[in-house]
Chains A and B, each alone.
Chain A
Amino acid sequence: QKEVEQNSGPLSVPEGAIASLNCTYSDRGSQSFFWYRQYSGKSPELIMFIYSNGDKEDGRFTAQLNKASQYVSLLIRDSQPSDSATYLCAVNIDRGSTLGRLYFGRGTQLTVWP
């Protein structure tokens, strides 16, 4: 069974701090990984994706992937109160096919306090 695990939190950090969100996955063959942000009552919005081991930076966000450890993380630098949301980790479970289905973790609730 393909699983994506996240610490549900809540994670609480002060404004300006670095928020670190973690995700592990069970399918060693997974190839692509996504971070989405979901505000309460809204649908997910894409933050970034990562395919290769290492770090990928986009503005204040950095995704880190370690396929050997089956671990992907998201760092948010200079956290702002507007970053308060639930962060969803998603893994493409259809390696080798064109289906492109995503398996989502339960999400980590982040609160950034002023």
Chain B
Amino acid sequence: GAVVSQHPSRVICKSGTSVKIECRSLDFQATTMFWYRQFPKQSLMLMATSNEGSKATYEQGVEKDKFLINHASLTLSTLTVTSAHPEDSSFYICSARVALAGGYSTDTQYFGPGTRLTVL
């Protein structure tokens, strides 16, 4: 249980293009999903918190107009990197919290397999 998928797993694009990354919870409903970015040899840096049906909450220093997040349903959140540049090349990982009965969620986050973005 608690499987999270991401698509695509790897993407290479030209500078200036936009890239959409999908995050899906496959066997559970996720009221909250999180988007992280990880540079080589660095830890996971939280970019934003995505709640179903509402606007995402971005961490300080993350440009909300550049990293568009949509949480369309309890099983799907998307991250769009707009006008990507080489410095946006990174490993993007989503995670999801399990929604329990009564509207509560556990603290535990389950991670997707990640998307490696390379911007040329």
Contact = CB atoms under 8 A, between A and B. Distances in A.
A46 B108 contact: yes
Interface residues of B, number: 20
B34, B44, B114: most-surrounded residue (chain A CB, <10 A):
B44
B108 A44 contact: no
Interface in B31-69: 32, 34, 42-46, 49, 57
Contact of B109 (A42, A100, A106): A100
B112 A43 contact: yes
B110 interface: yes
Nearest to B31: A98
Nearest to A33: B107
A92 interface: yes
A106 B43 contact: yes
Contacts of B112: 43
B111 A88 contact: no
Interface in B44-101: 44-46, 49, 57, 93, 97
Contact of B113 (A32, A36, A43, A98): A43
Interface of B: 32, 34, 42-46, 49, 57, 93, 97, 105, 107-114
30 contacts: A32-B107, A34-B107, A34-B109, A36-B111, A42-B114, A43-B111, A43-B112, A43-B113, A43-B114, A44-B44, A44-B93, A44-B111, A46-B111, A49-B107, A88-B44, A98-B32, A98-B105, A99-B57, A100-B32, A100-B105, A100-B107, A100-B109, A101-B34, A101-B49, A102-B34, A102-B46, A103-B46, A104-B43, A104-B45, A104-B46
